[in-house]
Each structure stands twice: as structure tokens, then as C-alpha cells.
């Protein structure tokens, strides 16, 4: 069996990335003060009642004012609506189902 040299290994690892170089997608981050032309834009987000019910798992009404941020929650990640640690740290009961 022939031994691969480090340069050969690098070429093998980077070869799949070369196919992405020909894509016409905008490159974000080259001008951090401006949104790239043609970059996708989220114009509207709608969370239905099922989403709110899931997000408020383990919290009983009346809901505190501090949770009203959920009304403006977009599609970005927030750890508040996902199960966390188990055991005694599961104060909202996510893992008891």
C-alpha cells in the first residue's frame, strides 16, 4: 500500500470544496457594514399556537411579562424553546414526557 504524503492528504480533503467556488451565491462578511446584494431576507415570521404551547412548556399562566419576548421571536435559535439538562435541572419538565 502506498503511503499518502501530507500534501496529498490536503488536496484530497480540499477537493470537494473546489466545487463550491463556482457558485453565484453572495459572500457574507466581506463588507460587514452592508448586506450583500442578493442575500436572502426573512420578511415575515408567523408562530402558530402550537409553537407557543411548545415554547411555554412547563410554565403556568399567568405568564410573566418577561416572557413577552416570544411575541417577537424570529426564526433564529434560542435555547429557551429547546429541552435543556435532565434530572434536577429540568425545572420545566421537558424530559418527563
Confidence of residue 28 (pLDDT cuts 50, 70, 90): low
**Per-residue DSSP letters for 25-93?**
---TTSSTTSPPTT----------HHHHHHHTTT-PSSPPGGGGGGGG--SS--GGGS----GGG-TT-
Between 88 and 35, the higher pLDDT residue: 88
Taking 90 as the threshold, does the pLDDT of residue 86 lie above it? yes
- Predicted confidence at residue 87, as pLDDT, reads 92
What's the whole-model pTM score? 0.57
Say how far apart CA 56 and CA 92 lie, in whole Å: 9
Amino acid at each position: 500500500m502506498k503511503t499518502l504524503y501530507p500534501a496529498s492528504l490536503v488536496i484530497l480533503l480540499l477537493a470537494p470544496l473546489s466545487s463550491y467556488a463556482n457558485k453565484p451565491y453572495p459572500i457574507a462578511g466581506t463588507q460587514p457594514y452592508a448586506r450583500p446584494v442578493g442575500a436572502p431576507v426573512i420578511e415575515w415570521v408567523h408562530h402558530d399556537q402550537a409553537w407557543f404551547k411548545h415554547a411555554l412548556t412547563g410554565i403556568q399562566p399567568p405568564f410573566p411579562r418577561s416572557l413577552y419576548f416570544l411575541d417577537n421571536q424570529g426564526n433564529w435559535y434560542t435555547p429557551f424553546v429547546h429541552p435543556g439538562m435532565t434530572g434536577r435541572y429540568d425545572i420545566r419538565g421537558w424530559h418527563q414526557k
